[in-house]
Structure 1
Amino acid sequence: MSQARITSPDASAEYFFEEGCFILELSNSVDDPALSIARARVEPGCITRLHRLAHQVERYVILDGEGWVEVGETVAGPIKAGDVVIIPAGASQRIRNTGDRDLVFLALCTPRFEPKDYADIDPAPMDRGNLGD
């Protein structure tokens, strides 16, 4: 990183990502390749696609709501605000909103997230109607 700065993301820049959740990039720049930060939002009753990131260790910091997370073959369980989920590079992952309000979390990736490293491995066909969009 070349210099100190403050960034203020525009909430209207949130977009629906093919994974099945809404994303607002908070920090993801070639100027700071060590880390990216995104706010993810999963609507009630929705689940993200089973996927993996090729090179990034990802951490979910749960900010609001409740859900169920699956990581690889070894971790599956309930999550709530305050929990941190650590996802090794290459591990399969998905998260389901089991509550009645949006499940909101930060996704911190090291090194920074790049779309080319995302792989959808869900055997089910994509059905956006079940993803809440």
Structure 2
Amino acid sequence: MLIKLVDDCREFIAGDGSLLRELLHPDKADVQIRYSLAHATVPFGQATKPHRLTTAEVYYIIEGFGTMCIDDESEPVEPGSTVYIPPGATQSIENTGDHELVFLCIVDPAWQPQDEEIIEDG
């Protein structure tokens, strides 16, 4: 049986600027899954850098309020919101609430560094 507590996972700053804790990844644990699962936090008043993945991603909002941007669309998100991000879409999320924005990230197939591109401002 594998049980991981989020607080036991090392926190690091992801390429998009979010605070990330990787919960499950098939390359890093003995799990028979093809996706990766991470816990992300965007601090009050901040947003992630625009980025795109070659893989599909799903965000599940746990806590806080924000605005999700995918390509040329923007929509508010709140606890309980599930967001599908198609492969190749430019994405970012902004914390519009008054405390941390916390969400789960599911990437399928599992996240790999070469699958992500950070979009630098012109």
Q: Structure 1-normalised TM-score?
A: 0.82
User: Counterpart in 2 of 1:20?
Assistant: 17
Shift of 1:11: 2.1
Gaps of 5+ in 2: none
User: Counterpart in 1 of 2:82?
Assistant: 84
User: Using the alignment, how far apart are the partners of 1:122 and 1:85 within structure 2?
Assistant: 23
Q: Is the 8 A contact 2:21 2:39 kept in 1?
A: yes
User: Secondary structure of the residue that 2:2 maps to in structure 1?
Assistant: coil
More off after superposition, 13-22 vs 115-124: 115-124
Q: Paired residue for 2:2, among 3, 6, 31?
A: 6
TM alignment of 1:84-123, pairs within 5 A: 84-123=82-121
- Aligned identity (percent) is 33
Q: Structure 2-normalised TM-score?
A: 0.89
Gaps of 5+ in 1: 125-133
4+ residue runs of structure 1 moved beyond 3 angstroms? none
Q: Is the 8 A contact 1:9 1:25 kept in 2?
A: no
Superposition RMSD on alpha carbons, in Å?
A: 1.5
Per-residue CA deviations over 1:84-108 (Å, capped at 9, x if unaligned) read 0100011000000001110000000
CA separation of 1:10/1:76 partners in 2, compared to 1, >3 Å: closer, same or farther? Answer: closer
User: Counterpart in 1 of 2:57?
Assistant: 58
User: Secondary structure of the residue that 2:107 maps to in structure 1?
Assistant: strand
Per-residue CA deviations over 1:6-25 (Å, capped at 9, x if unaligned) read 13146251111121110000
**Paired AA for residue 7 in structure 2:** A
1:71 aligns with 2:67: no
Q: Is the 8 A contact 2:6 2:39 kept in 1?
A: no
User: Using the alignment, how far apart are the partners of 1:18 and 1:92 within structure 2?
Assistant: 14
User: Counterpart in 2 of 1:129?
Assistant: none
Q: Is the 8 A contact 2:26 2:36 kept in 1?
A: yes
Per-residue CA deviations over 1:38-69 (Å, capped at 9, x if unaligned) read 00000000010000001x11000000000001
- Would you say how many aligned residue pairs link Structure 1 and Structure 2? 118
